[in-house]
Chain A
Amino acid sequence: MNKIWTIAKKDIKEAFRSRSTYIFIVIMLVLTVSYFSSYNALISGLRRQNADLQTIINASQVFLNNIIYVIPMIYSIFVCTIFANYSVILDKAKRNIESLMATPATLNQIWIGKSLAVTLPSIIIGIGIAIIMYVVMDVGFVMPQTSQFIVPDVLAIVSTFVIVPILVFSIVMIVINVQLVISNPRIANFVFTGIFLILLFGVNALGGLGIEVSFGLIYIGAIVVCAFISWILSHSLTREKVILSSKG
């Protein structure tokens, strides 16, 4: 476990020494604006239909639940693309990975350490932004409409703090494994981008329609699938493949 933390800590430190990490965080904060306009569109629609207060409260609850389910997930996935650059892509490009492979750290320790280096900061940043966004949304946009602070349901909270981190870690494990063995590891980053875009536009669309999706169940199913894929991939990971796929 010590070696896993050693590998993860070093990679995280390196990522936070880069300015691009902070630029990405600012971009994400800017992206949150789209949710505020989606909510306004939803409420305006309900008002046009002369909806009563309870309907507006229910619709707001659904919208906020969607935020708390989805924002930590999509933002974490988005941040993963930056941290994966430092954890694997740069290491392979500079061929530092070969020296790491020659240490007594096992392949699994390296794999998990690098996956944690990507997951941990991404989750912390993703959840942090989600909490800020929820509070701003609730206080600044929902309360003026409903006159009450809507508390997210328990499942949404469990999802944010337990299920989403596990799911992000499961996805990262797969991406890192693929990055370790392919000669152009940047390609694997498209997995993150793909998931990010699907969630971003999908949830915005669903939120706009006032449809509630059972994210908890979808996430748990996805974790099981990812765990199975990781298990399969773990059997094909070798030091030789990692080195041969590194530049040079």
Chain B
Amino acid sequence: MENIISLEQISKRLGHREILKDVTLEVKRGDIFGYLGPNGAGKTTTIRIILGLFSPTSGSISVLGQNPGNDAVRKKIGFVLETDGLYDNVSAYDNLVYFARLYDITKPVEKVNQVIGLVDLADRAKDKVGTYSKGMRQRLALARAVLHDPELLVLDEPTAGVDPTGQIEIRHIMLDMARSQGKTILLSSHNLDEVHRICNRIALINKGQIRLSGEVEKLQHEMSHGEVVIETAGPIPPLILDEVRSMPGISILEQKNNVLSLSTGKEMDVSNIVTLLVSRGVSIEQVKKQEASLEEIYTTIVKEAERR
């Protein structure tokens, strides 16, 4: 799959502070890429470099096959930054027309009407943005981001400060953009649940260094502690439990009512346990492999980095 964003050993120094250290990152076409990290980790600086607002101190970068410092590349990128960049004294409609003209959109009015409907703000289009709620502002910022039909969307905490209903709406809009319009999305967020719900790949940055990156499911598997939960129709007799316990690498964490929790190690094939139980006449209702949650992964990595 083609790389839409490619950062290779990017470092960025501002004064005496090294904000980014050898950051290497790849975002492929069609990805919804979650970029995670605590405050001050370097997420916004990375985004600024991707948007061509900052130039890296060292390393190489390519966005849509070009140097992002090139003004033409910005025509292919849509963005929502930490501050929405909307003008309070101007109507939502005029805000969008303004940006449409900056993107050389040939029929700005038609396009604005189209995108403002997409984010469900058509009935408030003529109102000044200063009267909008945070959620409405973020939706409008998203509308601005897709005005020029960009290939890549760079979204820096688009749901920050938005109420839960607003977050869900924004999430739906983002998913729609990715799925039905085929956009590649780089999403920087503190909201792990949101990232888990919509991103297929993630990277975690802390203290200016990428600590982990890859597909969400793979990472969850890799970071899991090999826990399995087996639900049975009835209680498992102690003799059978002893047999399970004697299997190599297995320890029983808990057995309560009809639920058996096991620690199996990452490489253990669960089917061996299931086969044993079934052969002993135990009726199995459900087998669940407990993957590491994104929250666990995040906390583990950040704490590890803090210790260094």
Evaluate contact between A98 and B53: CB separation under 8 angstroms: yes
Q: How far is the CA of A137 from the CA of B103 in the complex (A)?
A: 49
Contact of B83 among A95, A106, A240 (CB under 8 A): A95
B224 to chain A, nearest CB (A): 39
Evaluate contact between B102 and A101: CB separation under 8 angstroms: no
Contact of A105 with B by CB under 8 A: yes
Contact of B89 with A by CB under 8 A: yes
Residues of B within 8 A of A7 (CB): 102
Number of A-B residue pairs, CB cutoff 8 Å, is: 76
Contact of A153 with B by CB under 8 A: no
Contact of B102 among A6, A95, A96, A98 (CB under 8 A): A6
With A3-B101, A3-B102, A102-B81 known to touch, is A14 a contact of B87 (CB < 8 Å)?
yes
B14 to chain A, nearest CB (A): 7
Contact of A99 with B by CB under 8 A: yes
A183 to chain B, nearest CB (A): 13
With A10-B87, A103-B74, A243-B48 known to touch, is A2 a contact of B101 (CB < 8 Å)?
yes
Give residues of chain A (92-112) contacting chain B, Cβ–Cβ below 8 Å: 94-96, 98-106
Residues of A within 8 A of B82 (CB): 95
Q: How far is the CA of A104 from the CA of B79 in the complex (A)?
A: 12
With A99-B83, A240-B53 known to touch, is A104 a contact of B90 (CB < 8 Å)?
no
Contact of B190 with A by CB under 8 A: no
Q: How far is the CA of A98 from the CA of B84 in the complex (A)?
A: 9
Contact of B103 among A96, A103, A106 (CB under 8 A): A103
Residues of B within 8 A of A102 (CB): 51-53, 74, 77, 79, 81, 85
Q: How far is the CA of A52 from the CA of B101 in the complex (A)?
A: 63
Secondary structure call for the A interface: helix
Contact of B123 with A by CB under 8 A: no
Contact of A248 with B by CB under 8 A: yes
Give residues of chain B (12-53) contacting chain A, Cβ–Cβ below 8 Å: 14, 48, 51-53
Evaluate contact between B53 and A96: CB separation under 8 angstroms: no
Residues of B within 8 A of A186 (CB): none
Evaluate contact between B53 and A2: CB separation under 8 angstroms: no
Interface string of B57-99 (1 = CB under 8 A from A): 0000000000000011011010101111111111000100011
Contact of B55 with A by CB under 8 A: yes
> Footprint of B on A, CB under 8 Å?
2-3, 6-7, 10, 13-14, 17-18, 94-96, 98-106, 238-240, 243-244, 248
User: Can you list 17 pairs linking A and B with CB atoms under 8 Å apart?
Assistant: A3-B101, A3-B102, A7-B102, A10-B94, A10-B98, A14-B87, A96-B83, A98-B85, A102-B52, A102-B74, A102-B77, A103-B99, A104-B71, A104-B102, A243-B48, A243-B53, A244-B14
> Footprint of A on B, CB under 8 Å?
14, 48, 51-55, 71-72, 74-75, 77, 79, 81-90, 94, 98-99, 101-104
Known: A98-B83, A104-B75. 5 other contacts (CB 8 A): A6-B101, A95-B82, A104-B103, A239-B53, A240-B54
